[in-house]
Structure 1
């Protein structure tokens, strides 16, 4: 499909700009290891210093939501992850999420936490990535999202340093996040040793789940894998 000019696409309420749709194993969060269809939307207003999907900032192609849902179905997996970029930067993402839920998929949304999650279908597991100081985007956190979280959701912190760890530990305690939903701590790839983060969590008996990104271990984080 040829790309459609932005002004033409804006006139159609059923289009989204898509970077890629592919089948792989979920590499993180609660459904790690499950065959999952990834729908990667184009564009992101943030510029985290460790971002591994900068190729999704620009480009992509405009596609009808019906077409997106049909391609998801052709992959034959029960789990679907809508990601980016920052998928909620495209307002029509809300409609895509609803459609996927209506089709009976187990749907997760990977979002930066910088945009309002209130309108996301409650059937979706919202994976909220709270930005640490080491991300260089901590000022973008939308703290009003936290009271909206439910046990169906997840919160993720990407830890870049010991200082990040202590900051995230304080946020978890201040907002009692572990009493609300799963809390995930991930080491920033190449910035800290995974074993160090694991040791800190164990030493503090922190009620969070340590995770490594499975796709980076298996495929060195190749796009489309």
Structure 2
């Protein structure tokens, strides 16, 4: 396993901008490549390029920051087969490890210690048809489901999926406004009006830094 290689776009230390650990110092490992092309994607620079790194070298880079939290993100991390081995290796180091995934690839076989943060792609993403709904049954209470919402149509669609799959009984559900497309206040008002059992999430890092890369 230590000899497995992954293509890595960047490894950096920053504050977590999203999810349950928002605000906590975190090491981010951004893997290269993604089979999706969401309209609002803010990490298109991770589609190509990167450098090949062995899992052992990635572990050593992460350890330099002595983190409590490590997030593996992309791109789409699961597009690279050794990603699961990397996740297990990081868990073995004692970190609290999370995986950010699009929900378009099978999440079976991920180390149960990993917190899975899985998107369900809304119509506004342009990738709604890629949702793999069988993944929902593979989530645990510790995991999170995220909807990135660009407009009222996305909100209504997300509310319907919330009710259809009873997602709040599966795990925590996050509704996040697409940055520069939907005002957070507007989304907050919709959530309150409908009394939805979801958490409003904004991307903290985009308010702290104008250049999100490496942040």
* Number of the residue aligned with 1:53: 43
- TM-score, normalization by structure 1: 0.94
TM-score of the aligned structures, taking structure 2 as reference length: 0.98
- State whether structure 2 residue 177 is matched by structure 1 residue 223: no
Q: Partners of 1:47 and 1:210 in 2: how far apart?
A: 24
Aligned to 2:179: 189
Matched, 1:154 2:144: yes
Q: How does 1:207-222 map to 2 (within 5 A)?
A: 207-222=197-212
In 2, are the aligned partners of 1:15 and 1:63 still within 8 Å (CA)? yes
2:126 maps to 136
Match of 2:12 among 3, 19, 22: 22
Q: Following the alignment from structure 2 to structure 1, what is the Cα–Cα distance between the partners of residues 134 and 166?
A: 14
Superposed CA offset, 1:134-192 (max 9, x none) = 00000000011011111011000000110100000010111111011110000001111
Runs ≥4 residues deviating over 3 A:
none
Aligned residues: 214
User: Does structure 1 retain, via aligned residues, the 8 Å contact 2:46–2:75?
Assistant: yes
RMSD over equivalenced CA pairs, Å:
1.0
Per the alignment, residue 169 of structure 1 pairs with 159
Q: What 5-or-longer segments of structure 2 have no aligned partner?
A: none
The answer to whether the aligner puts 1:44 opposite 2:31 as a matched pair is no
